[in-house]
């Protein structure tokens, strides 16, 4: 074949020698050899920069958005990369700049105007130069480009962010470099990210701890209770903190300290941006630690593309938006704003000091001796006297006082948590078990006294009754399959009560629970905003599921309430009300003995809570049912799921919390859904007839009211919206299918 113009040999005949560097680039990007040959034949040819070492001439070929650099003869490839996306800079006018500076000045003068502060940590170690991202030349280019487009521009266009939302940026190398601090969201911030996209050069190592320390310092500045906080941590690998004996522990301890300090006010998103082979266990542990410590924590592993990274950053942004909405909702009551209490937190690993011997010992305890009285929540009391509280004895017969820690152990969305122990004032010694006390996070809510704790106690008690039904149904179904009870996990909710006492002349009340076993890891399995613990469920972001398909699936899971199912009420019978048990149903818990155990003294659970506790009718179960025979619709009669046989039922323990939330929706006839399941999981000892038990605390109930009532179960009750969020991310598992409620 004759030579082509410009000395380019024929595609088929040319001895195309690719350098090792070029082959590695093609392997990373999946660029085929024939693509390279096509570029030489059909692409646009330009002179490239000469070889730095020898000065030899090089050629640049651009074809199908890929740039190839070859040697002088066009027969040896030097490198290849995607043609970088060109991000347009915003044309800033003097008015834009004045508005930006005015916004910064307002926020500096009055930090309470700030609605959110996001600290972004971007890995700028040498590996971020890797050219394996679709649409961008390097990983670093991709991160800053997507931050400009999807984090800033998209949120400003949608109205999710305003100039009262601020951003700080840290570059992570051997040390942490603060590029800018508390910049308002807007065109100036957009241009800053575009500039970094075009100019920044990754190098050296990526040290996590210095970056986390710097981020913590930035988050602490000018913070107030109504400001949503967010830490977005992007990296393409493991930390380079090699001098530490245990980098993982040091890093997670730092995250735990941050999460315990801010609780639900903080969202932590970690993004692992690299090939599938990369180990991101540290980033996953960071998100899990934040979630377990009371903050919002999510790990994302996006595809190496602008779309994949954009989806992950959008998920992180939505977490910040959810935190802001929650803070706005919780920080108002009857149209008036509420002020968060300022309290010190217990340091990580703090011990509970010595036995108190005086009213204030100075070792972290305050002892209360006046009018100390314990109360328990009872549906029976609410039914007959409209007062749900009945007096109860202390946990220890020797107790006649209580001691309360000054510093908080942690916090939830509405309450602070303190250590508490009963005390014998005669001996000055602790008596009884270690307890935790919970009270409002807001100033002046103490004036509500017992009323403040009622919605929490009601939520926990209602959840406990549903847990009893869930455990019964699981055992009933597994007995048909012949599954040993030692393979079954149970769910439970901790009993709660209230201690009331005098503090000076003010009558104060705290909600009290037993302290969960410290040796067991405190974990949050799902949230009230659709969160599912990523290690045990499908991540919230499902790129291959279209919006229409998602809506159809969610609506199918929730399906329209059956006629007769919706008797509007909160599940609580009041004085003078009649029991309403659906036809064909029986009491959820029959008999005085069972009701005494789970009904708080009510005659029966059905009498105490109304129709939702009626037992859903079951079909006559046959061997065909147990081995895949046909059955009725799952939401009508809950038959055994098709194809489920005894030898196949071996779900992981972590399947049970997600199945319980789904079951609560079904058992309550689609009127309520229990979620935000958090607590500890403990294995059973020898001789127990179960594999172990989940002990949950602080659940949320989303209640759907026909009459439009809202927040029936407190401020965290999001109603139908909360139910939708659960089913958007829920994927039925073998326990759901065992109960006949699975997809």
The Cα 289–Cα 251 span in angstroms is 10
The answer to whether the beta carbons of residues 204 and 126 sit under 8 Å apart is yes
Domain assignment of residue 417, yes or no:
no
Q: Consecutive sets of 10 residues in the chain, 743 residues long: mean pLDDT of each?
A: 39 33 42 66 89 90 82 86 72 89 91 91 94 83 91 86 94 95 94 87 91 94 83 92 81 90 88 90 92 85 85 84 72 60 66 56 81 89 75 94 88 80 89 91 64 87 96 93 87 95 89 84 81 53 48 57 44 36 31 34 38 45 37 40 54 93 95 93 82 93 88 87 90 91 78
DSSP 624-651: HHHTT---S-HHHH-PPPTT--GGG---
In degrees and rounded to multiples of 5, residue 653 shows phi and psi of -55, -35
Distance separating alpha carbons of residues 256 and 261, to the nearest angstrom:
8
Instruction: Single out the residue of 29, 19, 33 nearest to residue 69, CA to CA.
Output: 19
**Residues 6 or more apart whose Cβ sits within 8 Å of residue 305:** 133, 134, 135
Among candidates 94, 90, 539, 68, which has minimal Cα distance to 302? 539
Same domain as 276, residue 143: yes
H or E element, residue 421: strand 415-424
Give the residue ranges of DSSP H helices in 60-205.
Answer: 94-109, 139-146, 154-158, 187-199
Residue 236 and residue 167 share a domain: yes
Q: From 439, 421, 420, 438, select the one nearest 429 (Cα to Cα).
A: 421
Q: Pairing between strand 489-493 and 401-411?
A: unpaired
Q: Distance between CA 200 and CA 115 in Å, rounded?
A: 30
| pTM exceeds 0.75 for this model | no
| Residue 203 and residue 304 in one domain | yes
**Looking at the structure, do residues 112 and 77 belong to the same domain, yes or no?**
no
Report DSSP letters for 651-719, one per residue: --TTHHHHHHHHHHHHHTTTSEEEE--EEEEEE--TT-SSSEEEEEES-EEEE--TT----TT-TT--H
Which of 48, 82, 116 terminates a domain? The answer is: 82
Q: Please tell me the distance from the alpha carbon of residue 76 to that of residue 87, in angstroms, as a whole number.
A: 31
If asked whether residues 126 and 19 sit together in one domain, one would say: no
Residue ending a domain, choose from 330, 356, 388: 330
**Which residue range forms the structural domain that includes residue 221?**
105-330
| Residue indicated by tokens 């006390």 | 437
Task: Give me the CATH number covering residue 129.
Answer: 3.40.50.410
User: Domain check: are 158 and 74 in the same one?
Assistant: no
Tell which residue, 682, 680, 681, 723, has the closest CA to residue 700. Answer: 723
- 712 close to 513: Cβ distance less than 8 angstroms: no
Q: Quick one: 46 and 167 in the same domain?
A: no
Crossing angle for the helix pair 655-667 and 450-481, nearest 10 degrees? 100
User: Do 142 and 287 share a domain, yes or no?
Assistant: yes
| Residues near 386 by beta carbon (within 8 Å), at least 6 away in sequence | 574, 575
Whether 292 is covered by a domain: the verdict is: yes
234 lies in some domain: yes
For residues 168 and 43, state if they share a domain: no
Q: Please tell me the predicted confidence (pLDDT) of residue 657.
A: 96
Whether residue 319 is contained in a domain is answered as yes
pLDDT score of 670: 92
In a domain, 147, yes or no: yes
Same domain, 168 and 305: yes
- The residue among 271, 299, 330 that closes a domain is 330
Residue whose pair of structure tokens reads 């659709």 in the numeric block = 530
Q: Which two tokens stand for residue 8?
A: 């380019």
> Which stretch of DSSP H or E encloses residue 464?
helix 450-481
Instruction: Evaluate whether residue 550 is within a structural domain.
Output: no
**Nearest-5° Cα angle at 732, 726 to 736:** 110
| Element housing 473 (H / E) | helix 450-481
Residue 520 forms part of a structural domain: no
| Residue 695: count of CB within 10 angstroms of its CB | 20
Each residue of 632-652: b (16+ CB within 10 Å) or e? eebbeebbbbeebeeeebebe
Give yes or no for a contact between 177 and 120, defined as CB atoms under 8 angstroms apart.
no
Residues 63 and 191 in one domain: no
- Mark whether 297 and 179 lie in a shared domain: yes
Is residue 23 domain-resident?
Answer: yes
Count: domains in the chain: 2
Rounded Cα–Cα distance for residues 219 and 266 (Å): 10
């Amino acid at each position: 074949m004759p030579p082509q113009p410009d000395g380019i040999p024929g595609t088929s005949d040319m001895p195309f020698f690719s350098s090792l560097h070029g082959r590695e680039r093609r392997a990373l990007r999946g660029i085929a050899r024939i693509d390279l040959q096509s570029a030489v034949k059909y692409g646009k040819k330009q002179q490239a920069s000469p070889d730095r070492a020898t000065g030899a001439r090089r050629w640049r070929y651009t074809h199908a958005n890929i740039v190839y650099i070859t040697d002088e003869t066009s027969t040896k490839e030097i490198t290849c990369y995607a043609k970088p996306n060109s991000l347009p800079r915003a044309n800033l006018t003097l008015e834009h700049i004045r508005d930006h500076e005015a916004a910064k000045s307002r926020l500096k003068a009055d930090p309470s105007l700030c609605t959110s502060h996001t600290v972004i940590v971007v890995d700028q170690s040498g590996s971020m130069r890797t050219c394996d991202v679709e649409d961008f030349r390097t990983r670093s280019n991709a991160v800053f480009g997507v931050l400009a487009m999807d984090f800033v521009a998209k949120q400003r266009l949608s109205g999710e962010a305003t100039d009262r939302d601020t951003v700080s940026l840290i570059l992570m190398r051997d040390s942490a470099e603060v590029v800018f601090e508390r910049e308002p969201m807007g065109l100036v911030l957009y241009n800053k990210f575009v500039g970094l996209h075009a100019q920044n050069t990754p190098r050296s190592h990526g040290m996590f701890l210095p970056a986390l320390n710097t981020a913590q310092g930035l988050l602490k500045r000018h913070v107030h209770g109504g400001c949503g906080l967010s830490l977005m941590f992007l990296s393409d690998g493991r930390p380079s903190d090699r001098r530490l004996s245990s980098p993982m522990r040091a890093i997670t301890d730092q995250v735990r300290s941050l999460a315990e300090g801010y609780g639900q006010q903080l969202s932590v998103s970690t993004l692992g941006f690299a090939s599938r082979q990369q180990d991101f266990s540290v980033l996953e542990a960071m998100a899990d630690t934040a979630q377990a410590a009371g903050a919002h924590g999510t790990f994302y592993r996006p595809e190496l593309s602008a779309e994949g990274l954009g989806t992950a950053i959008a998920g992180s942004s939505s977490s910040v938006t959810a935190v802001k909405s929650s803070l706005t909702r919780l920080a108002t009551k009857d149209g008036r704003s509420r002020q968060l209490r300022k309290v010190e937190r217990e340091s990580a690993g703090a011990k509970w000091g010595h036995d108190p011997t005086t009213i204030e010992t100075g070792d972290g305890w305050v002892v209360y001796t006046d009018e100390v009285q314990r109360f328990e929540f009872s549906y029976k009391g609410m039914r007959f006297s409209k007062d749900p509280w009945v007096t109860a004895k202390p946990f220890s017969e020797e107790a006649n006082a209580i001691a309360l820690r000054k510093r908080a152990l942690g916090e939830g969305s509405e309450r602070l948590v303190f250590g508490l122990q009963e005390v014998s004032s005669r001996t000055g010694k602790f008596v009884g078990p270690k307890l935790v006390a919970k009270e409002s996070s807001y100033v002046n809510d103490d004036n509500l006294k017992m009323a403040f704790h009622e919605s929490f106690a009601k939520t926990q008690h209602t959840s406990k009754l549903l847990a009893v039904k869930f455990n019964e149904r699981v055992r009933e179904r597994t007995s048909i399959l012949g599954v040993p009870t030692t393979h079954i996990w149970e769910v439970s909710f901790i009993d709660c009560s209230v201690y009331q006492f005098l503090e000076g002349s003010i009558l104060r009340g705290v909600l009290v629970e037993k302290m969960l076993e410290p040796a067991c890891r405190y974990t949050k399995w799902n949230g009230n905003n659709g969160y599912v613990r990523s290690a045990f469920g499908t991540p919230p972001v499902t790129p291959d599921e279209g919006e229409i398909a998602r809506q159809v699936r969610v609506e199918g899971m929730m399906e329209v309430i059956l006629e007769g199912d919706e008797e509007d009420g909160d599940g609580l019978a009041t004085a003078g009300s009649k029991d309403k048990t659906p036809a064909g149903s029986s009491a959820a818990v029959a008999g005085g003995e069972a009701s005494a155990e789970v009904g708080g003294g009510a005659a029966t659970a059905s009498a105490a809570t109304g129709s939702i506790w009626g037992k859903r009718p079951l079909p006559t179960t046959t061997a065909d049912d147990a081995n895949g025979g046909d059955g009725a619709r799952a939401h009508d009669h809950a038959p055994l799921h098709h194809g489920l046989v005894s030898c196949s039922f071996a779900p992981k323990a972590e399947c049970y919390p997600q199945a319980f939330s789904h079951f609560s929706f079904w058992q309550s006839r689609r009127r309520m859904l229990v979620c935000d399941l958090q607590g500890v999981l403990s294995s059973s000892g020898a001789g127990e007839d179960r594999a172990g038990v989940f002990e949950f605390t602080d659940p949320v109930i989303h209640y759907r009211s026909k009459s439009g009532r809202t927040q029936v179960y407190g401020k965290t009750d999001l109603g139908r919206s909360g139910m939708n969020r659960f089913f958007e991310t829920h994927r039925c598992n073998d326990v759901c299918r065992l109960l006949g409620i699975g997809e």
